[in-house]
Amino acid sequence: MSEHHELTARLAELGGMAPGFRDQHGNWIETSLLARRDVLEGFGLKSGTIEEARESIGILEALRQAALPPLIVAVADTPTSVRCGLPGEGAEWVLTNEAGEAREGRAPLADGHVLLPPLGMGYYELVLRSGDAVSVSTIISAPPRCYEPAFMAHGDKLWGAVTQVYGLRSPRNFGIGEYSDVGDAAAGSAALGGDFLGLSPLHALFAADRSKYSPYSPSSRLFLESLYIDISAVPGFSGSRASALAADPDFRRKIAALRAAPLVDYKAVWDVKRPLLDLLFEDFIARGIPAEFRQFRKGGGEPLELHATFEALSEHFIAESRVWPGDWPTEFRSPHSDVVGWFREEKAERVTFHAWLQWVADVQLAQAAFQAEKSGLRIGLYRDLAVGGDRGGSEVWAASDQFSNTLSVGAPPDPLGPQGQNWGLPPLDPFALERHGLKAFRALVSANMRHAGAIRIDHAFQLRRLYLIPEGKSGPDGAYIHYPFEAMLASLRIESHRAKCLVIAEDLGTAPEGFSDAIMDAGLLSYRVMYFERGAHGRFKRPGEYPREAMSVFTTHDLPTLRGWWRGLDIDLREKLDVFDPARAENERAGRRHDVQKFCEALREEGLSDGSVPPEPPLDAAVRFIARAPSALTAIQFEDAGHEVDQANLPGIEQGHPNWRRRLSQSVEELTKPGGQLARWAGLMRGEGRGRA
């Protein structure tokens, strides 16, 4: 083995690169050293030559072999023993909390450790000094478990509905779901006995380019989508120029057409809403900026200002056909350049407009959350945090040093994506996360727990590892890199207690060994999809085999609805779109027929059917089946309650399927009315001991 090869292997080990992984069938899949090397190079750790490899090893050894580890996890209100490599018999310590308050002391060095006093919940900077040697670290002092509402301790089993926000229908909205519809859907679910309403990501998309509308590839996960603003609920709308324009017959015809359409037309909706928002903003400025907005803007700080600046810059440059920051003049690609500072001053009103949009969206989401609480939802709204943001969005532009510019998050080949999946999302830099005390991750979690009683972490394996694909490569060419798992879990525990927010971890797919047990031990709920909960020979697990600390569901936005699964529509689609060749498609159909038979056998074992396979799915029996699980939460998709057959998203397909555009066939009012399908299923839930009596 050459010296270069040995150095590269050493670098991969130091960098947390996994040598391989076990697939969903338990088979060990080796990852080439070349793939691991390419991923590390995406984080600036080069090893193309012996000299580069040695230099990169030196960087990581400095991080790994420092006198203090960069991140220290402590149990709140408990003395903390910290590994310390400083010389001497004792060390002086200084601990600074998030408010900038410092306390100091001295402790003996015993067996390479320093014992620090108990710390309250939060984040601390630790400075240790022994003689002339100094070391600095971040302490994450967290409770042992995430926040758990009282119902968890009482053993209650709750249910709720989940929905794609954009797909909500109402007589009021403009052809896309709005924050007011969210509030109404929450209230309607509560009236039927539900206790939460799950939402697709509310992340900010691209106001200047409405061709980018995937909620899982947003411009920024730190901010809210302005398309969901209910124009009629903006203060000052009644009697305004905007209300007069909205009442114009031609304008009303445009809105009516958008409401009637089966698919969301994001650009057309924005083209209708934007003139109204412009008029309302002009009136807002004319009335004098209120203290509430000033306070919101101050609280949003530099991140809000940078997002609003990005939006204003995007509008400016798209008029020149410069769509993404990479198309902009070089001096505008850094948010901290002098010319960007000049732009913020020169176009202050445009920047203020986009900050105002965030305020309006935040106020309307807060109102929806209040409506959910007032209506009786014990958990309220639960929000979804996507695994990444678009490479050309404001989140990456504002903090490019926290992300890799040449790597994309994805997944290795599996049954859902036989060619592997490349989601095109730049990953957070794990080494930057360690150096900066997880600040970027903490900000994301905090922002998405706002106005929420629960949060779902999309692709929760991101807490431990991510499958990353180098630029220009395909799905099978990626490799897994590890993230600071214990520290990220500890941060989640802190933020969940601060926000009084339950945490749900979407742990589907190729899982790291022991991951689900580890997150449940930390108080996160696992995410159990009925389609995948199997035992030997494809047997569906019986409800009693589901864990208590979990959310159990039939399906997700990336999977077929119950009716679609029963009919194999997802297989038909993949064949039609050439993802499956005819032979593979027929094999998949045979497998589906086997799965359907196995599910009917599972229903028979529970006394819910005679085991025969009916032509249509036995929906009531399926609801009773999933309701019996001891899982703390069970969710029903509005799509299933609304008799939909098509799924919201077909993973890995960008053309030929209307991902993230389907609107529900029924309105929120129709879906949640007494006597409807959801009301019927609510009754079945109660009959199985789930939900409120």
- pTM, whole model, 2 decimals? 0.95
- 79-109 exposure pattern, b = at least 16 Cβ within 10 A, e = fewer: ebebebebeeeebebebebeeeeeeeeebeb
Burial of 406 (0-12, 13-18, 19+ CB in 10 A): middle
Q: How far apart are CA 166 and CA 200, in angstroms?
A: 8
At residue 693, the pLDDT reads 66
Name the 3-class secondary structure at 580. coil
At residue 510, the pLDDT reads 80
Q: How far apart are CA 209 and CA 212, in angstroms?
A: 6
Name the 3-class secondary structure at 404. coil
List the one residue out of 157, 158, 159, 164 whose CA is nearest residue 642.
Answer: 164
What percentage of the chain reaches a pLDDT higher than 90? 85
In tens, the pLDDT along 432-471 reads 999 999 999 999 999 999 999 999 999 999 999 999 999 9
In tens, the pLDDT along 481-534 reads 999 999 999 999 999 999 999 999 999 888 888 999 999 999 999 999 999 999
Domains of the chain, with CATH numbers?
Answer: 3-64 (no CATH), 77-142 (2.60.40)
In tens, the pLDDT along 130-167 reads 888 899 999 999 999 999 998 888 889 999 999 999 99
Sign of CA dihedral 360, 452, 138, 222: negative
pLDDT average, residue stretch 282-310: 97
Q: How far apart are CA 197 and CA 568, in angstroms?
A: 28
pLDDT average, residue stretch 23-45: 91
In tens, the pLDDT along 532-546 reads 999 988 899 999 999
Residue 688 has pLDDT above 90, yes or no: yes
Residue 86 has pLDDT above 90, yes or no: no
Residue 416 has pLDDT above 70, yes or no: no
Rounded (5°) CA angle 86-92-95: 105
Residue 358 has pLDDT above 90, yes or no: yes
Instruction: Evaluate whether 209 touches 323 at the Cβ level (below 8 Å).
Output: yes
At residue 154, the pLDDT reads 87
Residue 78 has pLDDT above 70, yes or no: yes
List the one residue out of 482, 493, 413, 414 whose CA is nearest residue 446.
Answer: 493
